[in-house]
Structures are given as C-alpha cells and as structure tokens.
A and B are shown apart, each in its own frame.
Chain A
Amino acid sequence: MFAFILRRIALIVPTFLGVTLLAFALIHLIPGDPVENLSGERGMDSERRARLLHEFGLDQSLTVQYFKYIGQVVRGDLGTSLTTHEPVLREFATLFPATVELAFFAMVFAVCIGLPAGIIAAIKRNTVADYAVMGISLTGYSMPIFWWALLLILFFSVQLGWTPVSGRIDVLYDVPTTTGFMLLDTLRSGEPGAFRSAVSHLILPSIALGTIPLAVIARMTRSSMLEVLREDYVRTARAKGLPYWQVVLVHALRNALIPVVTVIGLQVGLLLSGAILTETIFSWPGVGNWLIHGVQSRDYPVVQGGILLIATIVITVNLLVDLLYGVINPRIGHG
C-alpha cells in the first residue's frame, strides 16, 4: 500500500510539469496578448506597448517566461492577475468554495438519482423502467449543458417562478463570508430566509451540472450490477433464502460499486470543466466563471494558475479514489 502511494506520488511530478507546460502553451497559442487587449479599438503607440510588455514580462522569450513561471510555482507563487492585480492564489481561494459547493451538490444529485436509477434498470432489465432510465440517461448525457441550463431557467424560473434565475443567494441578503460555502455561511448567520434562498439558488445549477454525471453513473451502475447479479455468489445468496433487497443492496451492490466509484472519481474532472459553462450561465461566482474571463482577457497568470490548481485537485481526487478501492473491496491490494 505504502509503495503504491509512493509510486502514485512520484507520477504526480511529471503530470504537474505536463500540466504547467500545457496550460502555458495553450494560453500563449491563443492569438492576442494582454497588452493588445488593453488597447481596444483605440490603438497604442509602440513605445507604450513595449513598456507594458516589459512590465508584464512578456518581452522575453517563451522559454524564459516558462522557466520563470515554473520557478515561481515551485516557490508557491502563482503570480498576480493582470486585470485586477490580485494574487492568483487569493482569487482562486476566494472563489473555489463556490465551485466546490456547486460541484458537491451536483454530485449528490447525480449519485442520489443515478445510483438508484441504475439499480432499478438492472433489476428490471428489459422492461419499460429499464428502457426509460437508459433512454433518459442517454438524453441527459447528450444534452449540451449550455442549452439544458437555459431550458431549466426558462421553465422553472421564468415560467413557473419556482427558483431564482442565477447567483448564489438573493442579493438582498448580505451574508458575511466566513467559510465561503454559502449554505454554511447562511446557517451561521442565523437567518432562515437567507439559508432558504441559498438552497433555492443551488437547485438549478446543481441539476444542470449534475445531469451528465447522473447519466454516466446510472449507465455504469446498470451494467456493473447486471454483471454482478449473474455471479455465482449472488445466486448462492438467493438460494440461501436471503431477502432479495438484501442480496441486491448488500451483496451485489458493494461489488458493483467498484467501477461506479472509479467513474464518480473521474466525474470530478468533468464536474470542474462543466462548472465553467454552468457558472457562466448561472452567474455563479466560482473559478469556472473566473477562468472564462481570464481566457477572454488573456490574463495569463489567472489561466495558468487556475488550470494548475484545478489539475492538482483532479489528480488528488483520483489518487484518493484509487486508495478507496481497497476500502470498498479488500480483495484489491495496492502491493
């Protein structure tokens, strides 16, 4: 187990290097630069342009810029936003709880609906329920988030008036930020209205973001359950006269969960990338929204730092998922 963890951690170093290189290369490959972005239609004289390029450190060769950046990162400095002049790490830390909150509830939504739906589809194989679950999940999987989110807003918010359109809380509640997690902050504020408002603001973005993971989890649970339900030990358990629910939920599900947990772990990456679109549409003040703006304004430090931090989180979550296998199924060793 220990050797396994060491091996995985050793792998992380080249992965990080790859990520920094990729993030650096990609943002520099996009045409335009931050100085160009500043000048707009106005134009800028070459002297001022050269001075700004120098101030931003963009007058050096890309190789020098990259190694300087790596040097900074190693010292824990992700740079300063070229737009707001705030440290990238501080901006990320301010916004990340919003993204985590959204991703968490999207995942809760996806697991709570996807898992039972997959189980139902498996045990009711080739019935209407099965076809319905699979059909709906295929539709959910194929749905562009942008379009789906707008549909949800138009139906639930504009037509029915049940949920707010966007944001994290009704703007009339000025809740002090302590944890950055709106549900916790509103609970601490002691204002029930604020908490209710925060919950209502979470519903649509969680559904929009959780739909694709839901579909994946439902389909994976179904196929995994079908496989496990055919196993001898399941037949034996049933032959022993155990109640069917116990066989399904205790004997079969636990083993069927292994690939499902892998998929859930992989969905974290998907959730973070999906959050970019969801946050933009729902004006959710998280890192996705921030990254999009960073790309638009060619804010190199924000884009590079943001991608690096998100990659770190995804890699860490995947490592944790690998370790979790052992807990779920002791037969899997990490030797």
Chain B
Amino acid sequence: MSTHSTASRLRILRVALVAAFAATLPLLAPGAQAKGTLVYCSEGSPEGFQPQFFSTGTTFDAASVPLYNRLVQFELGSTNIVPALSESWTVAPDGKVITFKLRRGVKFHGNANFKPSRDMNADDVLFSWNRMADDNHPFHKVTAGQTFAYFEDMGMKNIVDKVEKLDDYTVRFTLKRPEAPFLADMAMDFASILSKEYFDTMQKKGTPNAADVYPIGTGPFEFVSYQKDATIRYKAFDHYWGGRPKIDNLIFSITRDATARYAKLKTGECSVMAFPKPADLDEMKKDPALTVLQKEGLNIGYIAFNTEKKPFDNKLVRQALNMAIDKDAILKAVYQGQGQVAKNPIPPILWSYNDAVKDYAYDPAKAKEMLGQAGYPNGFDVDLWYLPVTRPYNPDGKRMAELVQADWEKVGVKTKLVTYEWAEYRKRSKTGEQQAMMFGWSGDNGDPDNFFVPLLGCEAVKGGGNVARWCNKQFEDLIIKAAQTPKQADRAKLYEQAQLIFKEDAPWITVAHSVRFDPIRKEVKGYKMDATAHHYFQNADMAK
C-alpha cells in the first residue's frame, strides 16, 4: 500500500470525525427551561444551610432567604421593618422591653426524617435564640466547630438580657439597655426561627446535628437537594404563611465566573443572574431578551484619613484634601456613572440621611490655600492604600487611586500608591499603620446605627472597623443617644446632627454610593430587588 493511499484514508477519517462532531453538537443543545421553574445563576456555594452559623450574602441567599423567616422582616425593596413571624410588637416606654405577638398557623417544612406535628410557636423562638445566647444550651455546641459568628459580631450578648415565653404566641425580649436598632437586628439572617421540634426529633434519633445540615424552616421554599458547587434545588412550600410562591421550583445554578453567568443568562440557561460585571452592563441593557434592574446600594465607598497620624490629625488638611478631589470624574471613570456621589457616611436610601449637609466643592485653589494655613504650603508626601479587589462599593480601587493621586498632585500632595493582598490589607488596616486608605461598607440591615457605630464609633477604633481611628466625643454621644432613643423620628434628628459633625471634621472623603444591578430575562415577572442585597424569589413568576 502506498503512502498516498494511507494518507487519503486518514484524511477521510479526519473529515468524517469532524463532520460527525459538528452534526452531533446541535442535537446536544441546551433545552428550554421547564414551566414553573426559575433558575438563578448564583455566584458561589453556600457554606451551609443553617443561617445562625454563617455571615456571607451567598449563604443567606441560599439559606435564610428561601427557607426561613424572622420575627420581623424588611419590606422588599426598602429598609422598612414589617411583620413576619410576629404579627405585631410593642416597645416599652423605657425602650428595654419588646413584646412580640406571634403569627398563628405558621407551618414548618418537613423532610424524610421529620414531619412537623405543630405550628410555629413561642418555644421555637426561645429555642432559636437561646441556642445562640446560652453557652450551656444542649444544642449550643451540637455541630462541632460551628460558632454563632453574626450573633456575636452584632454584640447580642451585651444587648439582650433574657427572652421569655408569656404564652404560646407571645414572647418578651428584655434588653440590658435601650437599643433602638434591635428591631432591625431581629430582621437579620442570624435571627431566623428554627423548629425546636425538629432538633428534638433529630436528637432522639441520635443525629442532632442533622438538623443543622438538612434545613427545615417556615420560608416560601422547601429544600430539596444540594450538589456541592453545582446546584441547589428548592420547591414551593404549599403551606407558606405568606402565600404559595408562583413558581413551582427554584434552582440555584452555582456559577462562580461572572462571564459564564452572563453567557448562561444570554442562552436562557438561567433566568436571573447575580453580580454582573460593570463592563457588561451596557451590552446587557441593549439585549432585547434581558431587563437590567437596578437599585441604590445600601453602601458607601470612602477614603479614610488616619486621624491619629500627622498630617491627618489636622482637620484643615483633611478638609483641604476633600476639596482637592473631583468626585464627579471618579464617578464617571470608576463607577462608569452607575452610582451617586456621596456626601454622608450613609446612603440616601437610609432614613435619617441628612440632605442638608453640604459637600466640599471641588476647589483645588482653595484646597492649596487651606494646606498653606495648616502649615503645608508646599504639600507633603502621603501613602494612599487602595483596594486590591473589586468590592460592591468600589469596582476599581486602583483606578480610583490614580485619579486621587492626580488630583492631590495638583495641590502639592505627592501620593504614593500602596496596596496589599486583600486579607493582609484588612489586617494591616486594623493596626492603624495606614496614613490614608480606601475602604467601604455594605449595610447589614436597614438601620443607620449599622453604619455609624461599626465604622465611626470610638469602640470600633479598637475593633479595627473604624479605619480613620476617629473618635469624636460629640459625635459619639449623638450616635449612642440615638441608639437608645425609641422613636425613629427622634433618632433621625440625632443622626442628622451627627452627619453635620462628621462632615465638618472630615475623617473621610465620602466618595460614592454604588448602584446594584440584577439582570433578568424578560420571561421573569414580578421579581423585585431587595434593599439589603439579598435575592428573593417568592414573588417571581415565569411567563409562558
């Protein structure tokens, strides 16, 4: 046989293989989505399904949002607190006793190992709280290695004295001190209500920690299955107290890469996607198959001056550098116009936002003059730390740093840009070695206290959350008083004053509040974005 004929056989084989491959591909194309099923392309795997243990948004989306409820909740789309598992509540005049009247007829889910025999009642509320609060509770350490991190981070042990059952449907929380943000805290994920009966049943079966692994809640969806790093399946809970969800099945398709999530949304493999890349938004908006929902973020991106270090211990310097920055240019270049310039440490979406506060206008000439008054007519050298990662409140730390560097250069301040790996960045920031640094915050709940205290309170200097290391007595008194004042209107006035002091003292440059986006397919109806960055699907429906 000749070389030529061997080669031609091989060539024929090659062509046949390629043709076969190409012919098979269309047969393998992804199918259309089943009716009544909504697929959500989520950004990562949950750490577990027990909301008391964890503190990431990814886990909350997969656990506390679809599966559980709290005594109160945030009205979808706002930070207003509305009834959930409690129908009503009263706060004693001293602000230290809160009594919740529980909703009747609330059913728990069931699974192969557990069929609930009763409705949710006060025993479940006490159980859920006490297992976190009481170190000697029989279920406190039932799952090895787990801690109630969020409960501790929110300082609940120092806030709540005791929880009592007055009757099957009345629960009383007694606080150690008046704490107005407490209601908002109770709407947070860690305060989800678990089934006491379920944990007792699992304990009798000899596997108490199974109750922490296979979730049973009162939420709009029941847990079906989880394939690690791949899919989470839920089905609509027929007996949901808030009305059965419109869709029959909810599936989380875990897709870590944002480009892949977008591709899946385009091809219809999912109907809603989490966290789009800012660079893709323009194209998404032009796609007739997609709708890009947007919502003001409950966040703030800022540059903090270390007020314990020279030259930033001088208020004039801080004010001057505030004036030296062109925030509009930053918003355009870094946030691609998708956000708003910040003048307060809290976003406008939050009640008590003081719109009367006047921001430092961009005025390099005046900034230079003020630096002269402060004793720095020729400027100075400064290290500016910039974020090494994209955060919801700041999509591009480096770009922002470059713009700030150029702006400060104009007033004689020579800026050296510095950064560290993200974990290292945070670690160092807590020791106070920084001069000026970029940081930010996304609110945990809809209470202004959740911005002021962890970011600007004197205690937070020790904890490291207050990276400006700014401790202003007048400001501190106001935010503490506000936390202890029961009426929201009175609290708002105190926070408004606090914002004036903050602006005048200028421990930060408040840069921007970013906007969040949820791209969805046109078939999805009734989906509404949440204010606290969770993803709720109980009102969503799929058009035919």
Contact B147 A91 (CB under 8 A): no
Confirm or deny: A95 has a beta carbon within 8 angstroms of a beta carbon on chain B: yes
Confirm or deny: B34 has a beta carbon within 8 angstroms of a beta carbon on chain A: yes
Confirm or deny: B44 has a beta carbon within 8 angstroms of a beta carbon on chain A: yes
Can you list 24 pairs linking A and B with CB atoms under 8 Å apart?
Answer: A36-B427, A37-B423, A38-B55, A39-B464, A41-B440, A52-B147, A80-B144, A84-B48, A120-B7, A153-B263, A162-B25, A163-B30, A164-B267, A164-B269, A166-B255, A166-B263, A171-B231, A196-B27, A200-B28, A244-B1, A245-B9, A248-B6, A281-B257, A285-B229
Partner of B7, one of A124, A167, A203: A124
The 4 closest A-B pairs by CB, nearest first: A32-B423, A200-B28, A43-B465, A31-B424
Known: A37-B423, A158-B263, A166-B264. Contact between A197 and B28, CB under 8 A?
yes
B454 smallest CB distance to A (angstroms): 6
Which A residues are within 8 Å of any B CB, using their own CB? 30-33, 36-46, 48, 52, 55, 80, 82-85, 91, 94-95, 116, 119-120, 123-124, 129, 150, 153-154, 156-158, 160-168, 170-172, 174, 177, 193, 196-197, 199-200, 203, 243-245, 248, 280-283, 285-286, 289-290, 293, 298
Interface string of B107-147 (1 = CB under 8 A from A): 00000000000000000000000000000000000011111
A252 smallest CB distance to B (angstroms): 12
State the CA gap A248–B10 with chains docked (Å): 13
Contact A44 B28 (CB under 8 A): no
Known: A163-B25, A281-B257. Contact between A39 and B426, CB under 8 A?
yes
- Which residue among A55, A84, A91, A94 has the maximum number of chain B CB atoms within 10 Å of its CB? A84
State the CA gap A290–B45 with chains docked (Å): 10
Enumerate B397-443 residues with CB–CB distance to A below 8 Å: 420-424, 426-427, 430, 439-442
Contact A168 B3 (CB under 8 A): no
Contact B3 A174 (CB under 8 A): no
Interface string of B249-281 (1 = CB under 8 A from A): 001011111011001101101000000000000
Enumerate B450-491 residues with CB–CB distance to A below 8 Å: 454, 460, 462-466
- Which residue among B34, B227, B259, B462 has the maximum number of chain A CB atoms within 10 Å of its CB? B227
Question: B460 to chain A: which residues have CB within 8 Å?
Answer: 43
Q: Give the number of residue pairs across the A-B interface with Cβ within 8 Å.
A: 189
State the CA gap A203–B228 with chains docked (Å): 21
- Which residue among A42, A46, A293 has the maximum number of chain B CB atoms within 10 Å of its CB? A42
State the CA gap A282–B264 with chains docked (Å): 11
Confirm or deny: B324 has a beta carbon within 8 angstroms of a beta carbon on chain A: no
A279 smallest CB distance to B (angstroms): 9
Known: A43-B463, A116-B10, A165-B269. Contact between A171 and B260, CB under 8 A?
no
Contact A165 B225 (CB under 8 A): no
Partner of A44, one of B13, B145, B463: B463
Question: A280 to chain B: which residues have CB within 8 Å?
Answer: 256-257
Contact B153 A44 (CB under 8 A): yes
Since A45-B462, A283-B229 are in contact, a sample of 14 more A-B pairs with Cβ atoms closer than 8 Å, ordered by chain A residue number, is A33-B423, A38-B55, A38-B149, A44-B463, A83-B47, A129-B7, A157-B263, A163-B25, A163-B29, A164-B269, A174-B233, A244-B2, A245-B6, A280-B256
Question: A39 to chain B: which residues have CB within 8 Å?
Answer: 426, 464
Confirm or deny: B161 has a beta carbon within 8 angstroms of a beta carbon on chain A: no
Question: B39 to chain A: which residues have CB within 8 Å?
Answer: 171
Confirm or deny: B207 has a beta carbon within 8 angstroms of a beta carbon on chain A: no
Question: B229 to chain A: which residues have CB within 8 Å?
Answer: 95, 283, 285-286, 289-290, 293
Question: A174 to chain B: which residues have CB within 8 Å?
Answer: 224-225, 233
B263 smallest CB distance to A (angstroms): 4
Confirm or deny: B26 has a beta carbon within 8 angstroms of a beta carbon on chain A: yes
Partner of B28, one of A32, A36, A163, A244: A163
Question: B231 to chain A: which residues have CB within 8 Å?
Answer: 167, 171
Contact A293 B44 (CB under 8 A): yes
State the CA gap A37–B460 with chains docked (Å): 18
A201 smallest CB distance to B (angstroms): 9
State the CA gap A285–B233 with chains docked (Å): 15
Contact B465 A285 (CB under 8 A): no
State the CA gap A245–B48 with chains docked (Å): 59
Contact B464 A43 (CB under 8 A): yes
State the CA gap A54–B26 with chains docked (Å): 56
